[in-house]
Amino acid sequence: MSLPLKIAFWATVAGQIILLLAFIGVKENTLRTGTSVLLQTVPIDPRSLLQGDFVILDYEIANISDKIPNSRQGDTIYIQLLEDADGVWRGIAYTPNKPDADRVFIKGTVTRPGRLEFGIDTYFIPEGTGRIIERARDVKVRVALSSGGTAVIEELLVDGEPFDPTRPPDLPSRMPPPPPPAQEPQRAP
């Protein structure tokens, strides 16, 4: 192999490694310095033969059909968020313009009419654990938001607790208390 080919090969390898490290660095920086918010989801549990089990997360704030009806595929939409009494962040303003830096917001892209994606719509889980999420009553996702509105998943909460792939799928994370024993009526002697 000639010297110019060796240099081109190693430059290509180094460039790919640098790009990969930069991608990881941006995500890690968002996790460390971003604003942490809790978003309500509606999960769907598909299976990919090549990728294993994963959950497609459909966020409540992703529906924009009644908020920005004339949006087109590929449009960027910013959602200003506000925390409610339950600790879940809800969308209070939807706009194509980036909000002020002192606001908490998430950036989404219109992928089909009336729907947004945020780049956090797929969460991979260990094989065979999808039933835990399928049977959950409530699924939320804690995400870190960068100053530009980019989101990174911090954790998945299933029925109010961090996702635990070792939990049996038929058991809820918190067992409801047993009903009180039935008392028989007393007969007068």
pLDDT (tens digit, 0 to 9) for every residue of the chain, 189 residues total?
A: 788 899 999 999 999 999 999 888 888 887 788 888 988 887 554 555 445 677 888 899 998 878 887 888 999 999 999 999 999 999 999 999 999 888 999 999 999 888 899 999 888 888 777 777 777 888 899 999 998 999 999 999 988 888 887 776 555 544 455 555 555 555 555
Q: How far apart are CA 107 and CA 130, in angstroms?
A: 28
* Domain ranges across the chain: 29-162
Instruction: Give residue 89's Cα distance to chain centre.
Output: 13
In degrees and rounded to multiples of 5, residue 6 shows phi and psi of -65, -45
